[in-house]
Amino acid sequence: MFAGAIFLLIALLMGKEYLNSRDFRKKSLERLYQSYGMTPERNYKTGEMDHIQEYYFRHPKEHQIDDITWNDLNMDNIYQKINTSCSAAGDEYLYYRLRTPIYDREETERWESRIKFFMEHEDERQRVQSLFFNLGRVGRYSLHEYIENLDILGERNNLKYILSNLLLLVCIGVMFVSLPAGTVALLVVLCHNIVGYFKEYKQIEPYITSFRYINRMLDAADKMGKVTISGISEEQKRLRGCYQRMKGFIRNAYLIVYVEKGNGDPFGVLLDYLRMVFYLDLIQFNNALRAVRGHLSEIDEMVTLLGQIETAVVIGSYRNSLSGGYCIPTIRFEQNEDRHIEIEQVYHPMLTEPVKNSISTAKGVLLTGSNASGKSTFLRAVAVNALLAQTIHTCLADYYDAPFFRIYSSMALKDDLISGQSYYMVEIKSIKRILDQVQKAETENGYVLCFVDEVLRGTNTVERIAASTQIMKMLSSDHALCFAATHDVELTKLLRKEYDNYHFEERIEEDDIFFPYKLMQGPATTRNAIALLKMLGYDDYIIKEAETMAEGFLTGGSWQNMDEI
């Protein structure tokens, strides 16, 4: 009766835990379904983005977005604004997708087909979302980091564990001959096994997390392969193939992926002792390790396929979240196309109340205007949308039409204190890489779209204008389209043949300044640097003398009292 009562109590506790877990999962899935089309609220831990990059680093392709351009455009923040993934595969593949433009029409059409399917078929989308919810994330590191470090474990075999288990049986046999001797021998072997177990388990514990994730991927691949989802039939077929080739992994890893250690219930405690004494999970880990090492290509393929499917769901959700609207871009892949780009009512994804602008040009664009008038934001809006158009086939605009571009920027540079490089040195190296890409595009009949904010701001005025003029002329090649912002109004005249001039302006009313943020044709005709000094309460003498000097230079072409100096 006592044993029965204990068993009943355990059964009730386990049943309660199961019901609580099921209720929590149901509510979590409801929140997930309802959040489709909403801006994600996820908080990223320090260093988390470093691990999300791992799939991208291990899958290099031509024309990927380089680090300078990615950082110039603050793409980590835009990634986080887009990402509603539930799984590590989705996290990592979305990052890869945003840094890897699609330069093939058929592949672009396949992506659009996936995205539209999940946007239009709610039941199938939610079924897929539930599978990714179960898949979850790996842990602290990327799955690729765990797999890459498997070599640290070296070659492992189960011989010593089997011999230890045989020795236990020998000790038990000795007990039938001499109980004291057998008992002492058994205790010594047990202590040896337990100490050895903890020592070795500490080495393999980080990898068990990755093995559990591989097992969950196989489970997702199996379940996804059993349902009919017409929008991803090809991906389902390939996932089924991966599952069939890796079924042995599940059998070899049962104890380490399904049965958690130290869960506190009597059966769990008993199993923990059996593991320690007989090395059960160490033996299974070695078997699973061999299976993983023999199927690295299948693991990578599953990450890719699952990542592609969830990324398609994420892109659809992002499109629905855009209150400012979006369009499906027209990208011209033919090599004989010209470099003309046309964007209507484009806006930046990080702005809550954006002012939209339009532009259509086959020449370079030179932007002038006052401080804080919107030049840099416009450059980034065009650059980001060109990138999004070529990666996730989504453009935050009413209309986008352009050839396929190799996208580069030189905008938010800093001096490099570690290497001892000045700002100017960092800047000219950054621009040099763009010039190299333009030359490469000319030989390969491609196109470069580049963005430069304040050309050569790190040097003196005379040399800056002279060098900037020649650099900007090189960037006006038939195979390049350059958008540049500058405060050097001299460039608007020196480059008038190569570039279309546009500007942003400000309005000063009643000692206050307003920015309409509307793109205007022609070079800037107003200045606000001195006006801002006045508004912030600088001494009237400074304001007056500065205005006099500026006006004298603009009308006479030389600085007042320069001869006296």
Tell me the DSSP string of 104-143.
-HHHHHHHHHHHHHHHH-HHHHHHHHHHHHHH---SSS-H
> How far apart are the C-alpha atoms of 206 and 364, rounded to whole Å?
53
Secondary structure (3-state) at 183: helix
Strands 341-346 and 330-332, bridge-based pairing = unpaired
Q: pLDDT category, 392, cuts 50, 70, 90?
A: very high
> How far apart are the C-alpha atoms of 90 and 308, rounded to whole Å?
7
Of 9-23, 441-455, 479-493, the one with minimum mean pLDDT is 9-23
Alpha carbon separation from 379 to 58, 220, 438 (Å, rounded):
30, 42, 19
Looking at residues 81-100, what average pLDDT do you find?
96
Give the number of residues written for the chain: 565
Same domain assignment for residues 190 and 231:
yes
The pLDDT, as a whole number, for residue 26 is: 77
Task: Residue 110: name the closest of 312, 300, 310 by CA.
Answer: 312
Same domain assignment for residues 227 and 342:
no
386 lies in some domain: yes
Asked if residue 486 lies in contact with residue 472, where contact means CB atoms within 8 angstroms, the answer is no
User: Which of the residue ranges 6-20, 23-37, 84-98, 188-202 has the most confident prediction, judged by mean pLDDT?
Assistant: 84-98
* pTM for this predicted structure: 0.87
Q: What percent of the chain has pLDDT over 90?
A: 47
282 lies in some domain: yes
**C-beta neighbour count of 435 within 10 angstroms:** 17
231 lies in some domain: yes
Q: Is the pLDDT of residue 536 over 80?
A: no
Burial of residue 450 (number of CB atoms within 10 Å: 0-12, 13-18, 19+): buried
How does pLDDT run across 433-451, given as a tens digit for each residue?
999 999 999 999 899 999 9
> Measured between alpha carbons, how far apart are the two ends of the chain, in Å?
108
Of 262-276, 404-418, 529-543, the one with minimum mean pLDDT is 262-276
How does pLDDT run across 400-437, given as a tens digit for each residue?
999 999 999 998 766 555 555 677 788 889 999 999 99
326 lies in some domain: no
Same domain assignment for residues 297 and 362:
no
Higher pLDDT, 252 or 446: 446
Total domains, the chain = 3
Helix axes 296-321, 179-225, angle to 10 degrees: 50
Of 60-69, 317-326, 414-423, the one with minimum mean pLDDT is 414-423
455 lies in some domain: yes
Alpha carbon separation from 207 to 148, 212, 285, 289, 307 (Å, rounded):
11, 9, 9, 9, 21
Same domain assignment for residues 358 and 216:
no
382 lies in some domain: yes
233 lies in some domain: yes
How does pLDDT run across 117-130, given as a tens digit for each residue?
999 999 999 999 99
Q: pLDDT category, 565, cuts 50, 70, 90?
A: very low
Asked if residue 454 lies in contact with residue 486, where contact means CB atoms within 8 angstroms, the answer is yes
Same domain assignment for residues 358 and 501:
yes
Same domain assignment for residues 358 and 298:
no
Q: What angle do CA 557, 563, 564 make, to 5 degrees?
A: 135
What are the start-end ranges of the H helices in 392-489? 423-444, 461-474
Which residue range forms the structural domain that includes residue 16? 1-31
Same domain assignment for residues 364 and 499:
yes
CA dihedral 86, 88, 90, 91 (to 10 degrees): 100
Asked if residue 83 lies in contact with residue 91, where contact means CB atoms within 8 angstroms, the answer is yes
> How far apart are the C-alpha atoms of 203 and 201, rounded to whole Å?
5
Asked if residue 461 lies in contact with residue 469, where contact means CB atoms within 8 angstroms, the answer is no
> How far apart are the C-alpha atoms of 397 and 356, rounded to whole Å?
8
Q: What angle do CA 146, 58, 380 make, to 5 degrees?
A: 120
Same domain assignment for residues 295 and 412:
no
199 lies in some domain: yes
Same domain assignment for residues 290 and 179:
yes
Place of tokens 């801002």: 532
Secondary structure (3-state) at 416: strand
Same domain assignment for residues 382 and 268:
no
Enter the tokens of residue 546. 């500065």
Phi-psi label, residue 344: left if phi above 0, alpha if psi -120 to 50, beta otherwise: beta
Enter the tokens of residue 326. 């979006």
Q: Is the pLDDT of residue 47 over 50?
A: yes
Of 341-355, 399-413, 453-467, the one with minimum mean pLDDT is 453-467
Q: What angle do CA 498, 504, 509 make, to 5 degrees?
A: 155
Same domain assignment for residues 339 and 195:
no
The pLDDT, as a whole number, for residue 14 is: 64
Enter the tokens of residue 233. 């039939």
The pLDDT, as a whole number, for residue 53 is: 95
Looking at residues 299-322, what average pLDDT do you find?
96
Asked if residue 381 lies in contact with residue 518, where contact means CB atoms within 8 angstroms, the answer is no
What CATH number corresponds to the domain at position 430?
A: 3.40.50.300
Q: Is the pLDDT of residue 563 over 60?
A: no
Same domain assignment for residues 264 and 300:
yes
Quote the mean pLDDT of the chain: 86
Q: What angle do CA 163, 167, 171 make, to 5 degrees?
A: 175
